[in-house]
Amino acid sequence: MGKKQVPSLVKDERLISRRRAQIVKAAVGLFNEKGYHKATTREVANASGFSIGTLYEYIGSKEDILFLVCDSVYDEVVRKWEKLLDSNLRGLERLRQVIESYFRVVDDLQDEVLVMYQETKSLSGEALRYVLEKEIRIKDVFEKELINAREEGVLTMDDRQLSLAAHHILVVGQMWTFRRWAVQKEYSVDEYIDYQLRQLIYGFGVNEQAPDKQPVPQKEE
């Protein structure tokens, strides 16, 4: 996957990186506050600390700003994951930690994730495909972990349920941001992580001794 290129009139790569980091930071703040469409490029330029002309030395269009934001979030998520994924933890505990780690990154990058989450749809064509592909990559990480867990005998899930579960984990993470108006009023991150991990792993906690108990209908394989 060739990194979708955002055009720049400037040659110095180091400068480009620095300026774009400024832009992303400023943009995340603004996009969160007023939304991508209501935030103007002028405002982004100002908040970035330079003029509108300079802004356009480092991007080709407003959409590129949004793309840069999305792109940076994924990079950060992946970066924060690296150490953990390399560890030799195994079994349910490993799964638990991988998920928790992701949840914490989402919490740290809350504003960024929220922007990415709510405004991605405004990207068009190539940029959209690129961002969705990155999202799939993250999903793939979860899927791989779930497969590992299954191979270790911890879980019983067929392939397709497992793939869906991977999506599910991703969404439960994002939910911490896009429903923060409700959820973050009632729960701390720690509580949220605790409860949602239990929910993911054990479900509603069905009481098997209940009157209408019924065997867990796992794919009868």
Residues in contact with DNA by the rule CB under 7 A: 9-12, 15, 19, 38-42, 50-54, 56-57, 60-63
Place of tokens 């949220």: 192
How far apart are CB 70 and DNA at their closest, in Å? 16
Should residue 202 be labelled a site residue for a copy of itself when binding is judged by CB under 8 A?
yes
Question: Is the backbone of residue 40 left (phi > 0), alpha (psi -120 to 50) or beta?
Answer: beta
Question: Under 8 Å CB-to-CB from 199, ≥6 apart: which residues?
Answer: none
| 132-155 residues labelled b (16+ CB within 10 A) or e (exposed) | eebbeebbebbbebbbbbeeeebb
Residue 172 near a copy of itself by CB under 8 A: yes
Q: Which stretch binds a copy of itself (CB under 8 A): 22-30, 60-68, 76-84, 207-215?
A: 207-215
Q: Does 201 bind a copy of itself (CB under 8 A)?
A: yes
18 contacts a copy of itself (rule: CB under 8 A) = no
Which is closer to a copy of itself, CB of 18 or CB of 37?
37
* One residue of 18, 179, 180, 190 binding a copy of itself per CB under 8 A: 179
CB neighbours of 13 closer than 8 A, spacing ≥ 6? none
Assess contact for 113 and 73: CB atoms under 8 A: yes
- Among 24, 19, 17, which residue's Cα sits nearest to residue 44? 24
Q: What mask, x for binding a copy of itself by CB under 8 A, covers residues 138 to 167?
A: -x------x--x--xxxxxx--xx-xxx-x
Of the candidate spans 22-30, 64-72, 77-85, 181-189, the one that interacts with a copy of itself by CB under 8 A turns out to be 181-189
Q: Can you tell me the distance from the alpha carbon of 144 to that of 76, in angstroms, rounded to the nearest whole number?
A: 20
Token pair recorded at residue 96: 């638990």
Using alpha carbons, select from 81, 96, 44 the residue that is nearest to residue 66.
44
Name which of residues 51 to 70 contact a copy of itself (CB under 8 A).
Answer: none
The window from 16-24, 65-73, 101-109, 185-193 that contacts a copy of itself (CB under 8 A) reads 185-193
- The number of beta carbons lying within 10 Å of the beta carbon of residue 172 is 19
Site residues for a copy of itself per CB under 8 A: 35, 37, 90-93, 95, 118, 121-122, 132, 135-136, 139, 146, 149, 152-157, 160-161, 163-165, 167-168, 171-172, 175, 179, 181-183, 186-187, 191-192, 195-196, 198-207, 210-212, 214, 216-219
